[in-house]
Chain A
């Protein structure tokens, strides 16, 4: 999209629209083109007819409320920045809005200072690159963030989240002293985390008593990791040429590995796009199970959209013969069988490991 950024402002109050259109178009340094709509249906029609960078939406509107608009906008325009600007302070709506993938949730500003903060955040969001990068610091890679922390001699714990994967890097007085990632610790974990291209991070309080496991300087660590990533990238091109056959063989091996986890009785991986069984372990005839899984996932996914409660994360069924857990994971959907005696905590932990390994 060339030219100034375009913002669509959606609220049923015309006075509010007039005031905020003026503020946004005249006081932001990017001088955005601000359009307004006073109903959800009108707003969606405008999104359909021309591209926008950002949608700012009120929640409390007649006929089609803001959550309904957000649900449609997120599905149809995944690159669109979504901001809620509302008078509703209830935690439940904040949770639901974030569950639908909004970038920011703002209570309508009441003072000059709050207006200033709002404008700054909108400007920052407009400037952020549409893809890649880590949310939390504008347009910065994880390497930049680690360099910043180390150069400023900080002590902190960086918690990095990439989908369901989670890692931590401990920084003490400007030195990386430890790292933790799924299935890895110390330097290998550091390398694993840096291989994630997107995600979000947060700074946790420092842990001065953390035992040091990494003794390489942060410059050395970053250099080693960059080299390892370059080598891995050149090797990845080869199996890609082998096509689906290699994918199937890899996922078969992965399923065999996952079957060793606590309590796993069977595993079934189904393609999310065509709903065909990609691979299975411990099942004689996967077809009925794959059909049930597909029907159930679709059924509850639609229900989630109707109720506006965000993404469906997992379904757990309990029967006299077994427990079964269904979960979406990237381009696949997984179905895992467990014995009925397995506790809810054990099931949750095992599913977490399975999803982590599958995603990584």
Chain B
């Protein structure tokens, strides 16, 4: 089974990992500080930031200003707090075990 073992070795990594950490944005959507690893693409950080800022602004327009937004995905929790027009955003990857614990509670 030497051949099978050969295939089961992970190749050089090309997949993007979801990191835990946070970053801050100014009101223009420019990333100011970050605790995320450098391997996490800057473009994705910007995209998350822009979408979060757009949601804060849209809420204000709908006469419902928000100071915090939490988005729950099956494999990620995003927490964003408004900071004087900008935002601080936390990324928290969720594991299967966490989902199960949540279900059982």
Q: Report which A residues bind B (CB closer than 8 A).
A: 13, 15-16, 19, 59-62, 65-67, 87-96, 98-99, 107-112, 114-115, 166, 288-289, 291-292, 295-296, 299-300, 302-304, 306-307, 309-322, 324
Contacts and interface: CB of A to CB of B under 8 A. Distances in A.
Main secondary structure of the interface of B (DSSP, over half): mixed
A60 B15 contact: yes
A99 B67 contact: no
A319 B67 contact: yes
Contact of A13 (B7, B62, B70, B72): B7
Q: Which 3 A-B pairs have the closest CB atoms?
A: A310-B74, A99-B74, A292-B62
B8 A291 contact: no
Contacts of A61: 14
Given A291-B62, A299-B54, A312 B67 contact: no
A315 B1 contact: no
A307 B76 contact: yes
B101 interface: no
Interface string B34-59: 00000000001001100100110011
A291 B3 CA distance: 57
Contacts, number: 155
Given A110-B8, A310-B74, A316-B70, A62 B58 contact: no
Contacts of A109: 4, 8
Contacts of A99: 73-75
A48 to B, nearest CB: 24
A300 B66 contact: no
Contacts of A166: 103
A91 B67 contact: no
A166 B103 CA distance: 9
Nearest to A322: B64
B72 A115 contact: no
Given A87-B11, A292-B64, A303-B71, 16 more contacts: A65-B16, A88-B10, A88-B15, A95-B96, A108-B8, A109-B4, A289-B62, A289-B64, A299-B54, A303-B47, A307-B18, A315-B71, A315-B72, A316-B72, A321-B64, A324-B64
